Amino acid sequence: MDEQRSHIISALVMHRPGVLQRVAGLFTRRGFNIDSITVGPSEQDGLARMTIISRGDDKVLEQITKQLNKIIEVIKVRDLNADGTVTRELCLIKTHTPSERARSEIMQYANIFRGRIVDVGPENLTLEITGTPEKIDALIDILRGFGIKEIARTGPTAISRGSKTM
């Protein structure tokens, strides 16, 4: 019951200015933890889907869901069960390429991780990788050895498996 767990909360919200502020404000005001939050249009016109990664025990999670539901512009809230959920994150990584050898090594790693080179400069490479946050962490760890100049991550987004919808 008191166990702190990471939760994936998916919320269908009105696509309006201020909704993100309402949601983010709720988390800070009530002292709920927030690891990441992503927003984008959903399958329905005028509605957006937010994916929030948060940590807390069951009681905290219950409060998060209930408090989110109280926001007038929030239409539906689900705590996605990690097992039944597909989670993906997109990450762009700009690395140094100190030598030709380093450059080809980086490209090989990108291949192994099913990443793509999306920009090339005389002394840098930018790769794009999509996957679970763990997979992205792993690639970043490897690339640190070459010198990472910049990382931009979207934060995870998620959807339930199978034909079920929220």
Partner 1 sequence: MKGSQAIIKSLTDEGVDVVFGYPGGVLLPLYDVIYDSDLKHILVRHEQCAAHAADGYARASGKVGVCIGTSGPGATNLVTGIATAYMDSAPIVALAGQVGTSLIGNDAFQEVDTIGMTMPISKHNYQAMDSSEIPQIIRSSFYIARTGRPGPVVVDLPKDVQEGELDYPENITIDLPGYKPTKKGHPLQVKKAAEMILNSKKPVILAGGGVIHSDSSEELQHVSELIGAPVTTTLMGKGCFPEDHSLSLGMLGMHGRVASNMIVDECDCLIAVGCRFSDRTTGDVSKFAPNAKIIHIDVDPAEIGKNVAVDLPIVGDAKIILSHLVRVISQTKGQGKPDWVDYVKSFRASCMPRLSFDDTPLKPQQVIKEISEAVTDDTIVTTDVGQNQMWMAHYFTSRNPRKFISSGGLGTMGFGFPAAMGAKVAMPDNDVVAVCGDGGFLMVCQDLATVKEYDIPVVVCVLDNRYLGMVAQWQKLFYDERISQTKLKAMPDFVKLAEAFGVNAYRVERPGEMKEKLQEALKSGEPTLIDVMIDPNEILPMVPPGCGLTEIVGEYKVERENPSEITYRPSAQETGGD
Phi, psi of 159 (to 5 degrees): -150, 150
Residue from the set 20, 34, 61, 75 that interacts with partner 1 by CB under 8 A: 75
Residue from the set 35, 73, 79, 128 that interacts with partner 1 by CB under 8 A: 73
User: CA distances (Å), 6 to each of 136, 138, 141, in order?
Assistant: 18, 19, 22
Stretch that binds partner 1, among 2-10, 68-76, 89-97, 112-120 (CB under 8 A): 68-76
Neighbouring residues of 126: CB distance < 8 A, sequence distance ≥ 6? 92, 93, 94, 95, 117, 118, 119, 120
In contact, 106 and 125? CB cutoff 8 Å: yes
Stretch that binds partner 1, among 31-39, 66-74, 140-148, 156-164 (CB under 8 A): 66-74
Stretch that binds partner 1, among 67-75, 107-115, 120-128, 146-154 (CB under 8 A): 67-75
CB of 36 to partner 1, least distance (A): 21
Q: Which residues of 132-141 are buried (b: 16+ CB within 10 A; e: fewer)?
A: ebebbeebbe
**Is residue 22 a contact residue for partner 1 (CB under 8 A)?**
yes
CB of 72 to partner 1, least distance (A): 5
CB of 63 to partner 1, least distance (A): 6
CB of 67 to partner 1, least distance (A): 5
Rounding to the nearest 10 degrees, give the CA dihedral for residues 46, 52, 58, 63. Answer: -50
Instruction: Count interface residues toward partner 1 (CB under 8 A).
Output: 20
Applying CB under 8 A, the residues found at the interface with partner 1 are: 13-14, 18, 21-22, 25-26, 29, 59, 62-63, 66-67, 69-75
